[in-house]
Amino acid sequence: MDEAGGTPRFDPLRDYPLGERRPDLVRTAMGLALGELTLDGLRDGAFTAEELRATPQTMRLQAQVARAAGREPLAANLERAAELAGVAGETILSIYTALRPHRSDAAELEAWAVRLESELDAPLNAAFVREAAAQHGRRGLLRR
Amino acid sequence: MTTPDDPLEPGTPGSARFRTREAAVLRTEALIAPAPALGLCVFDGPNDPEPGIELRDGRVVAIDGVREQDWDVVDAFIAAHGIDPVAAGEAAALDDLEIARRLVDVDTLRDDLVRLGRGLTPARLARIVGLLDPVELMFAMKKLRARRAPANQAHVTNRKENPALLAADAAEAGLRGFAEVETTVGVARYAPLNAIAILVGAQTGRPGVLTQCAVEERRNLQLAIQGLVTYAETLSVYGTESVFVDGDDTPWSKAFLASAYASRGVKIRFTSGGGSEALMGGAEGKSILYLEARCLAVIRAAGSQGVQNGSVSCVALVLSLPGGTREILAENVLAAWLDLEVASGNDAIASQSPIRKTGKLMGQFLPGTDFVTSGYSAMPRYDNMFSGGNYDADDYDEWLTLQRDWQVDAGIEPVGEQDLLAVRLRAARAVQAVFARLGFPPVSDEEVELAAGCKDSRDLPDRDRAADVLAGDRVLAEGISGADVALALEAAGFRDIAEAILAMQRQRVSADYLQTSAILAADGGVVSAVNDPNVYTGPGTGYRLEGARWELLQQLPHVQSAADFAARPAEGPPATADARIAGLGESPREVVIAVGPAFGAALRETIGGLEHGAVVQAVIDGITEAGAQPRVVRVRRTSDVAFIGHDGARLSGSGIAVGIQSKGTTVIHRVDLQPLDVLELFGQAPLLTLDSYRAIGRNAGGYAVGERVGPVPTVLDNYARNKHIVRTTLLHARETAEVVPDAPAVELLPG
């Protein structure tokens, strides 16, 4: 239990699977608990398909689980994913395309990095795009 | 092939045996000598670098002899995300052989090996794994697998892209225990419908099966966003920069895509596999295993939980080279060492030779991998749209038997015909209902029924494909989701399937299956390397096929009980009746027919299905034809055919006897011979006919009356023992049960 005697603190070594061991920590974007995501609720319009996905908070808990298991790159991936959870699919696909070989020049990738940082609240992904820009530039993989 | 040293003179007739071997299907497959310059060598390519790593201020500045400024994108990505400098320091203090030995040391924990692996460069990884021989590789595989228990993945496709058949096959795959089901398309616009069909089918077969539809990334991601698929393994990487770029990606674009899938709650697994760089002409003279080590280092660095590897679709290319099978297993071991979930190939056709492909399979099958195949064809090969089908629906009995033979769990369960028909029918009906509710082109009752019982899609009527693909377009345009599919099923009365599909959507909320090696148990619980890790430290530890699971995997539908198999229950009056104790015969022309303790009584026919009364009559006829006099006795004290015959000879007036066991094995014996030294032995009872028995009688009579006798011709069938040894054993046991120790032989009357 934490200091206030409320919800027990998250322990990434013990609390996995979250859905079984810590359902109290898992919520949809609207704040629904797993137990509220029932077929009857869906039919009666209590929630929509949009709710049926992980929130950034849940993704970050999963990143903690991966890190505690010694899987740093997986944790980093899940943290980048957490940042992307709220980003529109079309935007994501545009960034993906921009990162492919010979698709963007340095300025275009930097523009994506700025947008990820300032507009989309995705600093990890921004840094990742900047790193790609530097390496693509070094290896001649920017748009010619 | 003739070589310059071949002693064969021109014009010398060839060997007929060579011609026979040349005609075998194996010989349609090319074997080539290594061509290292083209990357066609499995270990130690001429351009493979010397392993090495240089750190400065805790940062990697050189990998495998290449300094920072000269790194290609693969090196740079691995250096940035894939090497743990602390582990690199630890590994630097150990020599290659020491690390290789730890890979097969039961007392070295997987965790310690994985930690060490994080500090190794691709060249060093390849070199160390290359030190292991095949059995050591298998042992290392068993030790390094991430998840405790192995599992398997199925392919489900068909040439007509018929949704009822897709659903039925996915349901069968689910019921047979596959943890994942993968489909693909012939026509890209079918993807949404195929994804829906296998989602519905798989959840009908077993709640919790993960499903994917292998299509172009953008479309795939869209299906994921709509909750129609739950995993993806389409993210391919390559070991050289030129091929990576030819594949229209860089490590950063692929890693970003991986994060994108994860952000939609989709489990992802990358794909690599030896030989692809050589195939694409960009191997740079480097060995297959070294380039695969680079791929795997990138995959781990990108944060993938797992990989599909082991040459995969290039398997036939790698198998053309010496050591190819060993190299492929080495790839799988490397992946597991890097702490990745491994779906270990065995999906593309490795060889047309059943011996060769199954020899290759054993490398993954015996130690067990996270997914023993990355696509067992759940339908006959004809309908496999992955150009796969290395093992397919027609091979289920073979696979199940191999599991039973080795007591190994390779992820497929036996299921009886009625259970399968029922689940296939239900899945087809469920998808019919979903199509109806969503206003898609109807699935007819005829399609549903044929989907359940057909052999392949040729048995089904053609669909209106133009209408189907328009429905596929609607799925994307209207955003029809997994939740909508669940609602359609609920409305149509398939509440349990609807619940299972909603449960898959809920998994996306908790995202537990994004962890390494995650699959879902039938109760909906997530099982992964986090909560069910492989901790193998020798006998008595790790995953062992035992208990209820072993019982289940033994129960092939066609397994018989020993009692059922031995013989039909004796019905009706016996063919023989025992009379008084047999005395010594007086006529020098007498031939005794001595039968076994169960003959014509507890047993009624031979292993070849000949009725005992008819057998005796045939021998009597033969003896009579030869001018001798038959007398029938039953030997009761033994069930051994030689002793039965010899006991008969001792009673026979001529000293000649025919000894017949109930299963039909027969000897001609003579009183002055040692019991085991007979005149003639007819050991292959299943091949004997009534004519054979008559000929045996004629010969025995011939011996009695002193004529020259040529042996009865016998037929040789090398498979007879293979086919009949079980029944032979059981029939003999039945006869032996009738033995009365020390009892004298009795005269026998016709029944």
ipTM: 0.96
- Which of B48, B64, B75, B155 is catalytic? The answer is B155
CATH code of the domain in which B579 resides: 3.40.50.10150
B42-63 confidence digits (pLDDT tens): 999 999 999 999 999 999 999 9
Contacts of A26 in chain B (CB under 8 A): 509-510
Q: Do A6 and A74 share a domain, yes or no?
A: yes
Pick B80's closest partner by Cβ from A52, A129, A131.
A131
CB contact under 8 Å between A49 and B510, yes or no, is no
Beta bridge partners of B681: B667
pLDDT at A134 over 70: yes
Q: Do A28 and A91 share a domain, yes or no?
A: no
CB contact under 8 Å between A76 and B303, yes or no, is yes
DSSP secondary structure of B668-693: EEETTS-TT--SEEE--GGG--HHHH
Pick B256's closest partner by Cβ from A18, A99, A101.
A99
Q: Do B282 and B427 share a domain, yes or no?
A: no
* B377-402 core/surface letters (b: 16 or more CB in 10 A; e: else): bbbbbbbbbbebbbbbbebbeebbeb
Pick B72's closest partner by Cβ from A34, A71, A139.
A139
- How high is the pLDDT of residue A3? 46
Interface test with B, best of A11, A83, A135, A136 (most B CBs within 10 A): A135
- The torsion angles phi and psi of B355, rounded to 5 degrees, stand at -65, -50
Contacts of A17 in chain B (CB under 8 A): 510, 512, 525-526, 528, 530-531
pLDDT at A5 over 60: no
Q: Is residue B605 part of a domain?
A: yes
Q: Is residue B225 part of a domain?
A: no
- Which of B226, B374, B507, B629 is catalytic? The answer is B374
CB contact under 8 Å between B507 and A19, yes or no, is yes
CA-nearest residue to B255 within chain A is: A77
CA-to-CA distance for B382 and B377, rounded, in angstroms? Answer: 10
Q: Show which of residues 259-278 on chain B sit within 8 Å of chain A, judged by CB atoms.
A: 259-265
Nearest CA to B124 among B40, B70, B53? Answer: B53
**Number of folded domains in chain B?**
3
End of a domain among A85, A101, A135? A85
- How high is the pLDDT of residue B575? 72
Q: Do A22 and A62 share a domain, yes or no?
A: yes
CB B644 within 8 A of CB B660: yes
CA-to-CA distance for B749 and B582, rounded, in angstroms? Answer: 12
Nearest CA to A70 among B574, B530, B693, B422? Answer: B530
Q: Do A81 and A96 share a domain, yes or no?
A: no
Contacts of B80 in chain A (CB under 8 A): 131
CB B160 within 8 A of CB B127: no
Residues of chain B short of pLDDT 50, as ranges, are 1-2
- The torsion angles phi and psi of B605, rounded to 5 degrees, stand at -145, 160
Contacts of B475 in chain A (CB under 8 A): none
Count other C-beta atoms under 10 Å from residue B490's C-beta. 21
CB contact under 8 Å between B526 and A19, yes or no, is yes
CB B161 within 8 A of CB B194: yes
- How high is the pLDDT of residue B563? 77
CA-to-CA distance for B417 and B432, rounded, in angstroms? Answer: 22
Interface test with B, best of A22, A38, A92, A104 (most B CBs within 10 A): A92
End of a domain among A46, A62, A85? A85
CB contact under 8 Å between A96 and B531, yes or no, is no
Contacts of B526 in chain A (CB under 8 A): 17, 19-20
Q: Is residue B167 part of a domain?
A: yes
CA-to-CA distance for B481 and B475, rounded, in angstroms? Answer: 8
- How high is the pLDDT of residue B2? 45
Q: Where are the alpha helices (DSSP H) in B600-685?
A: 612-625, 641-651
CA-to-CA distance for B646 and B677, rounded, in angstroms? Answer: 9
Q: Show which of residues 60-79 on chain B sit within 8 Å of chain A, judged by CB atoms.
A: 72-73, 76-77
Q: Which residue do the tokens 């390397």 mark?
A: B529
- How high is the pLDDT of residue B93? 94
Q: Do B682 and B597 share a domain, yes or no?
A: yes
Contacts of A38 in chain B (CB under 8 A): 502
Between β-strands B66-67 and B153-155, what pairing exists: parallel, antiparallel or unpaired? unpaired
- Determine the structural domain holding residue B734 and report its residue range: 566-750
Q: Do B587 and B660 share a domain, yes or no?
A: yes
Q: Do A76 and A99 share a domain, yes or no?
A: no
Q: Is residue B334 part of a domain?
A: no
Element (H, E) at B365: helix B354-365
Q: Do B409 and B476 share a domain, yes or no?
A: yes
CA-to-CA distance for B429 and B444, rounded, in angstroms? Answer: 9
**Number of folded domains in chain A?**
2
Which residues, in sequence order, are CB contacts of B451 under 8 Å at separation 6+? B162, B164, B165, B167, B168, B424, B425, B428, B460
Q: Do B443 and B479 share a domain, yes or no?
A: yes
End of a domain among B524, B559, B594? B559
CA-to-CA distance for B700 and B7, rounded, in angstroms? Answer: 54
Q: Do B438 and B532 share a domain, yes or no?
A: yes
Q: Does B189 touch chain A (CB under 8 A)?
A: no
Element (H, E) at B722: helix B720-737
The distance from CA B687 to its chain's CA centroid, rounded to whole angstroms, is 33
Distance from CA of B295 to the nearest CA of A (A): 15
Distance from CA of B290 to the nearest CA of A (A): 21
Distance from CA of B423 to the nearest CA of A (A): 23
> Is residue B308 among the annotated active site residues?
yes
Distance from CA of B220 to the nearest CA of A (A): 11
- How high is the pLDDT of residue B314? 95
Interface test with A, best of B259, B299, B535 (most A CBs within 10 A): B259
Q: Do A102 and A115 share a domain, yes or no?
A: yes
CB contact under 8 Å between B245 and A52, yes or no, is no
Q: Is residue B250 part of a domain?
A: yes
Q: Is residue B543 part of a domain?
A: yes
Q: What angle in degrees, to the nearest 10, is found between the helix axes of A123-138 and A72-84?
A: 110
Q: Is residue B336 part of a domain?
A: no
The gap between the terminal CA atoms of chain A, to the nearest Å, is: 58
Please tell me chain B's helix, strand, coil percentages from 3-state DSSP, rounded to the nearest 5. 45, 15, 40
Q: Show which of residues 610-649 on chain B sit within 8 Å of chain A, judged by CB atoms.
A: none
B562-591 confidence digits (pLDDT tens): 877 765 667 777 777 788 999 999 999 999
Considering Cα of B141, then B147, then B150, then B153, what sign does the dihedral take? negative
Q: Show which of residues 116-175 on chain B sit within 8 Å of chain A, judged by CB atoms.
A: none
Q: Do B57 and B90 share a domain, yes or no?
A: yes
- Determine the structural domain holding residue A123 and report its residue range: 87-144
CB contact under 8 Å between A135 and B487, yes or no, is no
Q: Do A9 and A76 share a domain, yes or no?
A: yes
> Is residue B153 among the annotated active site residues?
yes
Distance from CA of A5 to the nearest CA of B (A): 24
Q: Do A79 and A103 share a domain, yes or no?
A: no
Q: Is residue B320 part of a domain?
A: no
CA dihedral B488, B383, B380, B223 (to 10 degrees): -40
CA-to-CA distance for B87 and A51, rounded, in angstroms? Answer: 41
CB contact under 8 Å between B222 and A89, yes or no, is yes
CA-nearest residue to A43 within chain B is: B487
End of a domain among A36, A53, A85? A85
> Is residue B155 among the annotated active site residues?
yes
Q: Do A62 and A91 share a domain, yes or no?
A: no
Q: Do A70 and A115 share a domain, yes or no?
A: no
Q: Do A11 and A47 share a domain, yes or no?
A: yes
Q: Do B686 and B611 share a domain, yes or no?
A: yes
CA-to-CA distance for B610 and B663, rounded, in angstroms? Answer: 9
- How high is the pLDDT of residue A1? 40
The distance from CA B294 to its chain's CA centroid, rounded to whole angstroms, is 30
Q: Tally helices (H) and strands (E) across chain B.
A: 29, 20
CB B171 within 8 A of CB B202: yes
Strand order in the sheet with B629-634: B576-581, B746-750, B629-634, B590-595, B656-660, B666-670, B680-682
Contacts of B263 in chain A (CB under 8 A): 59, 81-85, 87, 92
Q: Do B422 and B507 share a domain, yes or no?
A: yes
CB B633 within 8 A of CB B594: yes
Q: Do B496 and B601 share a domain, yes or no?
A: no
CATH code of the domain in which A129 resides: 1.10.1510.20
Between β-strands B210-214 and B180-184, what pairing exists: parallel, antiparallel or unpaired? parallel
CA-to-CA distance for B671 and B678, rounded, in angstroms? Answer: 10
Token representation of residue B342: 């491994």
> Is residue B68 among the annotated active site residues?
no
How confident is the model over A27-35, as a mean pLDDT? 96
CA-to-CA distance for B384 and B430, rounded, in angstroms? Answer: 23
The gap between the terminal CA atoms of chain B, to the nearest Å, is: 67
CB contact under 8 Å between B263 and A92, yes or no, is yes
CA-to-CA distance for B320 and B360, rounded, in angstroms? Answer: 13
CA-to-CA distance for B74 and B244, rounded, in angstroms? Answer: 9
Token representation of residue B671: 């009183």
CATH code of the domain in which B78 resides: 1.10.220.70
Distance from CA of B505 to the nearest CA of A (A): 6
> Is residue B246 among the annotated active site residues?
no
Q: pTM of this prediction? A: 0.94
Pick A92's closest partner by Cβ from B80, B260, B301.
B260
Q: Does B279 touch chain A (CB under 8 A)?
A: no
CA-to-CA distance for B438 and B459, rounded, in angstroms? Answer: 26
Which residues, in sequence order, are CB contacts of B704 under 8 Å at separation 6+? B588, B589, B590, B591, B623, B626, B628, B652, B654, B655, B656
> Is residue B69 among the annotated active site residues?
no
Contacts of A48 in chain B (CB under 8 A): 483
- How high is the pLDDT of residue A2? 44
CA-to-CA distance for B493 and B417, rounded, in angstroms? Answer: 25
Q: Do A43 and A95 share a domain, yes or no?
A: no
Nearest CA to B110 among B139, B89, B84, B134? Answer: B139
Pick B509's closest partner by Cβ from A52, A77, A96.
A52
> Is residue B684 among the annotated active site residues?
no
Q: Where are the alpha helices (DSSP H) in B50-149?
A: 73-81, 85-92, 96-103, 110-117, 122-129, 134-144
Contacts of A16 in chain B (CB under 8 A): 512, 515, 530-531
Which residues, in sequence order, are CB contacts of B104 under 8 Å at separation 6+? B132, B136, B139, B140, B143
Pick A100's closest partner by Cβ from B73, B249, B514.
B249
